[in-house]
Structure 1
Amino acid sequence: MSISKLSAVRRRDPYLERELKTYDQPLPSREYILQILEEQGKPVSFDAVCVLLDIQAHELELLQRRLRAMEREAQVLRNRKGSYILPERASLIAGRIEGHPDGYGFLVPDDAGEDLFLEAKQMSKVLHRDRALVRVVGVDRKGRREGVIVEVLERANRLVVGRLVVEHGITLVVPENRRINQDILVTPDGKGGASSGAVVTVEIIEQP
């Protein structure tokens, strides 16, 4: 598709030339989508995004796919009404979880900003090194920014090394890495012949 066949709105995409090199029928670039959302300054519905970007009927599904990909990478978010919003406008921060042996933890932001404190209740939703999206909710008694986990973006722990413990008919693995402070429940047929006290590697089949 040539540039001349695109509408004026689409021709304003600063990355149009790049998209044309990759796609025969290019969608608006991610950067342009973010620019349009930023200009609105408020949550924008999918229908409104389509109007703002002059999306044609045959492009609807492709745009939905692009927006879903942007959601997965925390470039955009959707509120409870399904409208799109930029993370910074929702006081949301993406980053990597750092667990502490005492149960609490921190979010280390992707943008190298100040860490956010996460209480033990929040850490029950994640494991050390997971990536998550966190909302800033205030400051704790020590003056640290505090957050709550909105969404887990990436699970970092598929295999965990720990010590097998059998108590009262329940089999658990206590992780050797003390930053992972949640014991892992083992299914009745999942011991693989290992006895209590053995150091084992388990595969996590259900995350927190």
Structure 2
Amino acid sequence: MDESTQTQQNRLYDEYVELRAQQQKLIADLLVELPKVDNLDEAYIHQARDAQFHTETPFLMAFVGPFSSGKSSVINALLGAEVLRVGPTPTTDRITILRYGEEPQQMTSGDETVTLFHPSALLQKVSFVDTPGLESVFQEHEETTRGFLHRSDLVFLVMLATQAMTARNVEYLKTLEQYGKKVIILVNQADLLTVEERQTVKEYVLSQSREHLGTTPEVW
């Protein structure tokens, strides 16, 4: 990279940081004034808090998938701690945002969103969004989840190795592709399969994606 290109990148980055700081201040000022408005719908305050979150979070990774596909377990593994509840039955009935915090704490925003703060070094660089099973994502939590999917920089579609690319998973992938975001298919519990079985599952996921979507997503 030549010196002029590096200088231009540094200038653009400085402008980006300044713009984000201005946005954060405007939203912070707005959050001070909104509660003073008589009979204001609480939804406006929630929207402002949501906007504040996204100006403070430069990279957002969303995890979606069917009930009990292991989304929470995957996030716990990434964080190296049992931050989210896991179990054989659905354990996530709200959209959960995981952000960095020096001390573990929880903040609830409305009836659909919970923010968990955790002192993980990884969360200093990215924030995670753990969603309910897709069966409810596009029903009870549809509007909120769609908002997060639009803002996400990366979406992981999590599916069990024993249920990879079922008809329902294909429909989920089609829906996610409509957002124009990078989608990675994460095959969970693949470690329970043999090497040959893992390769077979991966090839099946890729072939189904090409057949139904005409694209070849990344598969982990």
User: Which has the higher relative contact order, 1 or 2, with Cα contacts under 8 A spaced 6 or more apart?
Assistant: 2
More strand by share: 1
Rg larger for: 1
TM-score normalised by length of structure 1: 0.28
